[in-house]
Structure 1
Amino acid sequence: MTNTGEMARVRSRAGSFGLQIAAGLVVGVIVGLIARALPDGRGGDPNWLVATTDTIGSSYVKLLTVAVIPLVFTAIVSSIANLRQVANAARLALQTLLWFAITALIAVIIGIVVGLIAQPGRHTTVAAGAAKDPSHQGDWWAFITGLVPDNFFALHANTDIDGGSAETSLTFNVLQLLVISAAIGIAALKVGAKAEPFLRFNASLLAIVQKVLWWIIRIAPIGTSALIAHAVAAYGWTAIGALGVFTGSVYIGLAVVFLVIYPTIVRVHGLGVRQFYSGVWPATQLGFVSRSSIGALPLTERVTERNLGVPREYASFAVPLGATTKMDGCAAVYPAVAAIFVSQFYGIPLGFTDYLLIIVVSVIGSAATAGTTGATVMLTLTLSTLGLPLSGVGLLLAVEPIIDMGRTAVNVTGQALVPTIVARRERILDLSLYNAPRQGVPFTDDDETVAPADVPTPA
């Protein structure tokens, strides 16, 4: 007969957040395959199951995105106020930017090596007629213009016209939000005692936002299940087709960064590799299925603090900055392989100087395009710098969603890695949190405890 302790352990594992996420992914794949097998709706529209998974998944990402503005604002202001207690704040910022550049440098070199070995542009049957000019292009001035806020909330209105109907949506610029939050936080410090009521209110608001975020994250298994189901139903693997070598090359480069480079950096700094991945894994999974670093930002920041032991006053600065400018997948591996693909496809040879340009663009380009960041923007910036046809971007659109999943997972993992490494180097990392047995939830809430349970670690 199973004793009481063993039954409690089984119940704990059954309630494990990691197992719930894993179960959600499995259910999502099954539902996606079923949805893919169902006939299309009227007029060729997606069937009811595809539409349902799309609605649920996109709604969950919207919930997370809604939390970004209040979370980033209150966290940045609080972190600046708390930095009064940190003597090496400027050094932390410089170390963060330095490690952003170091990891991007390694990632882009890996992308170049994989591209040169795989020769994706010479092993494709994609038709030249598939090429078209991209709708968004990279601009070296975007970083400067992106620093200047358009309004207090860094909101932008976008209008899409499709078939004579116009739809307007609001988006926000995280880089501008960082600038606004930092300015207010610094001003509050300069004001002194008169600003203390505001700082106390901000701290209270931050606690409330984090509680709401905790509720949103607890339903992540449902959101991730719907997201992966829609991905399987909408994209499947048939889209790879003529771009199989290119897709495989990108994923090989991402795998080397994720499974070799990141673990090596963690190990060199005397930290446990398994502990790092079990700690960051909830955010990595969400990044993979949501394809949004910004959508995963709230969870990335929390696991960086609560699982990896990075001080909150530093994590609330470094992680949002990383979500804007730190993209080893989108801004390093992918544009390197894609640029080589385009050059080979059009028969335009690249020289040593061109590869150096790819490296330079990848290391500093994500910051230069932070106001309009994205893989397509980053790729157009790389191609225009090399003088390659921008229409080459259109050749790769068929596999964009499938590749974007892996790119975002690597992005999110790197955004948690750098603050962890810098905190370790500056001796402010909470090793008791980092090395603690993982709980059965994405992180322990500030005012509640949970029974220990294992979180699945990626293979």
Structure 2
Amino acid sequence: MRELLRRAARVPFGVQILVGLVAGVALGVLARSMGGTADDPNALTTVLDTVGSTFVQLLRVVVPPLVLTAVVVSIANLRQVTNAARLAGQTLLWFAITALISVAIGIGLGLLTNPGRSATIDVGQASASGTQGGWLDFLDQLVPANILGLRASTSVEQGADGVVTGSSTNLSFSVLSLVVLAIVIGAAALKTGEKAEPFVAFMRSALAVTQTALWWVIRLTPLGTAGLLGNAVASYGWDLVAPLAVFTVDVYVGSLIVMLVVYPVLVKAHGLSARKYLSGAWPAITLAFVSRSSVGTLPVTQRVAERNLGVPREYASFAVPLGATTKMDSCAAIYPALAAITVAQLFDVQLGVWDYLLIAFVSVVGSAATAGLTGAVVMLTLTLSTLGLPLEGVGLLLAIDPILDMIRTATNVAGQAIVPAIVAKREGILDVEAYHAPRGRDPLALDDVDRHDVRATDGTREEQGSDGTRVATPA
């Protein structure tokens, strides 16, 4: 048994994920053939759901300490970086540029295919979603509620007669709040100077411990992939997709155009290999597809951005967590544009040029306004309410949302990896050799000393370990 485990460990990680994908589809088809419903699933579907959800939950558990320690350490290391403000500005600018391109593709596909005209769905059964977004949500998510960035929500359970039968309180964290909190702490440590060195050293040690724990969780990815994809196949079928088939195809086509055409063109325009970009970001993209969680995929996205795409750790620790909350080219651009056109056509509402400009505006700015909130439903309600379209249209699209969310999240994460690489290349700090290096080495494995070459702003090459130590050598 031990020898079998050793042989399995030597199998390339990408191959392991591929095996998990195939196994997930096979198990999902088997579970679907066994019958069962969403309210009463069969045993295999329950097992797949449990395995997949447990894996995502483990990833999410690692996210808060990873974001907090990584951003604090990266801010503390900014004393060696002279253009930190420019990096932040360039990051936000490229977030907006790629979002604008994405929403244009979404609107173009919607006008070309008219997804609402071909939909066979009864609008009389539509109901407004209970989850909605507003422009003030950004400020609410921006200010941390406490030192851990935790937020509590209470739900009340009522019986058929309206009598309260119980209540439950759920705790959740806002990644955006954690990023803001970590930036403040890191800036304070930077300002304090020498007296803060023991604290910064502690945060570096905590980051190293967190990365080790993260590696353990990441090694479960093939198993989690099988559970997540298997449950998706078992739970959703063509009978749900058929009434909105054109809309579904549009979302997938639009997302694939952005991920496989727009992003490669952008990296090619900056003198980088499109093939190396896709192969480098692929571990994060595949995990995002099956997990449907940018936050859950965040540790892997940051990992591939640093090791595969050559983004300096100081910058990646800031840009990737920020992107996981505000960089959503599919959820916040392609999807709401197509959904707004679909809902307008379903309810016979004519959209004019001004309405399409509003869709573009909401897509570029609105992802920040809904940062940290759940899924694309919030972004969709924000778009529909801004255009004055019936919010009942949201309920018509919810049935197939999990199917769409797979490709949406994959595209989001692909964008969260590409922008730091583009900005780093433009600013001359990208490790181009690491970007174009062969992909034979497992990008997600942690070495005893996790060394990372980065290009310093003064033209020297710096070799940095996970403990934050740096040795400058001539470039």
**TM-score category (smaller protein):** over 0.9
- Report the Cα distance in structure 2 between the residues aligned to 1:302 and 1:371, rounded to whole angstroms: 21
Deviation string 1:203-252 (CA, Å, 9 cap, x unpaired) is 01101100110111111101111100000001133310211111111111
Partner of 2:67: 72
Counterpart position of 1:118: 113
Q: CA 1:173/1:13 → structure 2, altered by over 3 Å: closer, same or farther?
A: closer
Aligned pair partner of 2:41 in 31, 46, 51: 46
Q: Determine the structure 1 residue equivalent to 2:418.
A: 417
Aligned pair in 2 of structure 1 residues 217, 426: CA closer, same or farther (>3 Å)?
Answer: same
Residue 371 (structure 1) shift? 4.2
Equivalent residue, structure 1, for 2:435: 434
Secondary structure of 2:169's counterpart equals: strand
| Distance of 1:179 and 1:435 partners within structure 2 | 33
Residue identity opposite 1:348 in structure 2: V
- Please give the secondary structure, in 2, of the residue aligned with 1:414: helix
Q: Offset of 1:442 from its aligned partner?
A: 3.8
8 Å Cα contact 1:287-1:296 kept in structure 2 = yes
Counterpart of 1:141 in structure 2 is: 136
Corresponding position of 1:334: 335
- Which digits, 9 at most, give the CA deviation of each residue in 1:102-154, with x for residues without a partner? 00000000000000011011001111133111111111111122211111111
Q: 1:32 aligns with which of 28, 33, 36?
A: 28
Post-superposition CA distance 1:265-294 (Å, at most 9, x none): 011111111111111101001100000000
Which digits, 9 at most, give the CA deviation of each residue in 1:12-39, with x for residues without a partner? Answer: 9961100110011001000000011113
Give me the whole-angstrom Cα distance separating, in 1, the residues matched to 2:167 and 2:47.
23
Match for 2:11: what amino acid? G
Maintained 8 Å contact 1:96/1:418: yes
Deviates more, 1:231-240 or 1:298-307: 231-240
**Equivalent residue, structure 2, for 1:452:** none
Q: Give 5+ residue unaligned stretches, structure 1.
A: 1-10, 450-459
- C-alpha separation between the residues in 2 aligned to 1:323 and 1:378? 15
Residue 218 of structure 1 corresponds to which residue in structure 2? 219
Q: Could you tell me how far apart the structure 2 residues matched to 1:80 and 1:144 are?
A: 23
Change over 3 Å in CA distance of 1:335–1:281 after alignment to 2: same
- Give the number of the structure with larger relative contact order, counting CA–CA contacts within 8 Å between residues 6 or more apart: 1
CA RMSD in angstroms, aligned pairs only: 1.7
**1:173 aligns to what?**
174
Letter in 1 for 2:23: V
Q: What do residues 55-108 of structure 1 show as CA deviations (whole Å, max 9, x unaligned)?
A: 010000011000000000000100001111111111100000000000000000
Counterpart residue number, 1:102: 97
Q: Counterpart in 1 of 2:319?
A: 318
Paired residues of 1:70 and 1:209 also in contact (CA < 8 A): yes
Which residue does the alignment assign to 2:243? 242
CA displacement 1:387-444 (0-9 Å, x = unmatched): 1111110110111000000000000000000001000111111112111111353434
Matched, 1:227 2:228: yes
Tell me, in whole angstroms, the C-alpha distance in 2 between the residues paired with 1:293 and 1:346.
32
TM-score when normalising by structure 1: 0.92
> 1:318-397 alignment to 2 at 5 Å?
318-372=319-373, 374-397=375-398
Instruction: State the match for 1:59 in structure 2.
Output: 54
CA distance in 2, matches of 1:44, 1:256: 36
Distance in 1 (CA, whole Å) between partners of 2:127 and 2:417 is: 36
Q: Which runs of 5+ in 2 are unaligned?
A: 1-6, 160-164, 451-475
- Aligned position for 1:275: 276
CA contact (8 A) 2:99 2:364 kept: yes
Q: Does 1:19 align with 2:15?
A: yes
Aligned to 2:17, the other structure's residue is in SS state helix
The amino acid of 1:66's aligned partner reads: V
Taking the aligned partners of 1:269 and 1:237, their CA distance within structure 2 comes to 41
Contact 1:68/1:298 (8 A) holds in 2: yes
Counterpart residue identity of residue 377, structure 1: V
Residues in 1 aligned to 2:270 and 2:233: alpha-carbon distance in whole angstroms = 38
Change in CA separation of 1:165 and 1:226 when aligned onto 2, cut-off 3 Å: farther
- In structure 2, give the amino acid aligned to 1:106: I
Alignment of structure 1 residues 175-214 onto 2, 5 Å: 175-214=176-215
Amino acid at match of 2:125: A
TM-score by length of 2: 0.89
Residues 325 and 367, structure 1, Cα contact 8 Å, conserved in 2? yes
Contact preservation (8 Å) 1:65, 1:294: yes
Q: Shift of the alpha carbon at 1:165?
A: 5.0
CA distance in 2, matches of 1:176, 1:448: 31
- Structure 1 window deviating more from structure 2 (316-325 vs 215-224): it is 215-224
For residue 455 of structure 1, what is the aligned residue in structure 2?
Answer: none
Structure 1 residue 161, shift from structure 2 partner: 4.4
Identity percentage of aligned residues: 60
Q: Does 1:150 align with 2:145?
A: yes
Deviation at residue 187 of structure 1 after TM alignment: 0.7
SS of the residue 2:271 aligns to: coil
Matched to 2:172, the amino acid is T
Question: Distance in 1 between the 2:9 and 2:438 partners?
Answer: 14
Amino acid at match of 2:25: V
Looking at structure 1, the residues matched to 120 and 39 of structure 2 have their Cα atoms a distance apart, in angstroms, of 27
- Structure 2 CA distance, aligned partners of 1:64 and 1:117? 39
Alignment of 1:234-313 (within 5 A): 234-313=235-314
Q: Which of 113, 122, 125 matches 1:130?
A: 125
| SS of residue paired to 1:240 | helix
User: What is the SS of the residue equivalent to 1:437?
Assistant: coil
Could you tell me which amino acid in structure 1 is paired with residue 222 of structure 2? P
State the SS of the aligned residue for 2:172: strand
For the 8 Å contact 2:127–2:395, the answer to whether it is kept is: yes
Classify 1:371/1:281 alpha carbon distance in 2 versus 1 (closer, same or farther; 3 Å). Answer: closer
Task: Give the distance between the partners of 1:383 and 1:30, measured in 2 at CA.
Answer: 38
Q: Could you tell me how far apart the structure 2 residues matched to 1:78 and 1:335 are? A: 36
Distance 1:151 1:421 in 2: 34
